[in-house]
Amino acid sequence: MADPTTETLPDRLSVNPKSPYYDEALLARGVGIRFKGAEKTNVEEYCVSEAWVRVSVGTTKDRRGDPLTMKLQGEVEPYFRDTAEGEGEAP
């Protein structure tokens, strides 16, 4: 997957360890998602090139025990939380 030392995020990323798009190193660093300009904290997976996010729906689980998700279409902006927090600070 992507190198966690770079400042670019992959086109697609998932928080589910069963997914081929899961990357533990990136997730440990902290990835935030802006969807249609609003901060989302319940994103399970995103794809920038196809412009969608998959968000969890409450605490409901599917038959495999994974969170029940819903796919939403719109503009997706992933970012690293540590660099976003550092931008607003004065030197």
pLDDT tens, 37-74?
Answer: 999 999 999 999 999 999 999 899 999 988 899 999 99
Cα separation, 63 vs 3, whole angstroms: 34
Q: In the prediction, which pLDDT does 33 show? A: 96
**Would you give the end-to-end CA distance of the chain in angstroms?**
33
**Residue-level pLDDT at 87:** 55
Q: Which alpha helices (H) appear in 1-91, and where do they start and end?
A: 24-29, 81-87
Output the average pLDDT for the chain.
87
Beta strands of 1-42 (E only): which ranges? 12-14, 31-35, 38-40
- The pLDDT, as a whole number, for residue 90 is 44
